[in-house]
Structure 1
């Protein structure tokens, strides 16, 4: 029987594959992983090495990647955090970048060239981005480095140590209310349903897969439900075929949706009826994270 490997999670092409897959996949050549790190505020991970290729996800500043090939401005990589495979712009990566010590805990924050909000910012970082903090300067933390800059400054109240997760992932998700919908997006400038869920869970220290079908089988425990949709809890994840939302209370769904092209909040039953009639069909499962 032939094993079908998920192309999203398998660094293998007919011409090249990761060396650790030798004997499991057929390829003309195999390559060792070269560890690197994202040094751009965020980087698009595309299905093919061209700027107009579909956006599968985004890698955030500080995220580790394994690079298997670099060519013509692109790097073929596998992300460390969720294992996604695709093509990143190679100028977004560095092999000697420092490992993050902190994560951005605000929805979005600016990086300044000095400890003053009056200076023109160097860049903006989204929630979940990783930074290496070297010290403090008044109300700011000093970054050991930032991309091509030797240092940067971020408001101290907008970052948290990696070992200090948020107590409630639902509260994190609610910060994204009204953020625009973006297929494949994973930042506060735009994100999709599973990107919202993954980001919120990660802020609470819960690692999870990227896409909704992966989330549905890879996290939490199933919750029995019927048409009444009674007995549900805040934090339950509601799945359709190709969609996921988060309950902010037993009757209210928060989700990034193409229906409004935003992250929106609505009654669960209203969403259930509309989605079943017009898009993804019936609810396929509800899962609860312990």
Structure 2
């Protein structure tokens, strides 16, 4: 199965970001991609964190979700929409509202990754479970100021054109540091782990690749990480280095910085071969 990780340098204007994403998705589809993954915050890297609140959508409705559904259907792609802000509703394991008045504008939103089939149907939703906080005296981030944490891991099944059925586990950015989430996906039978991200330059240069390769190796699974990569209008710098990794930890393809499409063929037979040669998943004790 040919998979594309879409790298972007999203800005402060929603429509410009959607246009950039659309062009990259078309490029991926024309190159034969069957699954495309957009980065975290593909739709907006605002001037301030609270800008997410202004474009938040209700699950199942809104222009960003319509964009994703249309792009998936028009290009014939399985499409993972990086993340977008959704109004919390608490339904089916989604992050729940914390405002006393549910009808009031949200003060915090879910950072949600949505999966669309080639028919344009939304088939899975994952709300980011771990919220990033970092302060080194120069940079300061606290996602909990505008985000609510999700509560449930999410997988979906993808029937590839070659007849293989892939089970795919969803995660987002800071989740990468919590190995237990990916172990849960391995226990659920996942073959492929997705990590749309907007890693900071500071943390990314030291931790990004080693964490991604570790998640692939320890779970004997493919990993696809679509990232933000460059200097953004809001002054933030993201690490980039979108990559696809095989179950043995080999980097199949990557892109350092700036917008582009990173593609590789993921071989289901190779995954089975590595799991047969080194059945570490069967040797777990704890």
Q: Give the TM-score normalised by the residue count of structure 1.
A: 0.26
Structure whose CA Rg is larger? 1
Q: Give the TM-score normalised by the residue count of structure 2.
A: 0.27
- Larger strand proportion of the pair: 1
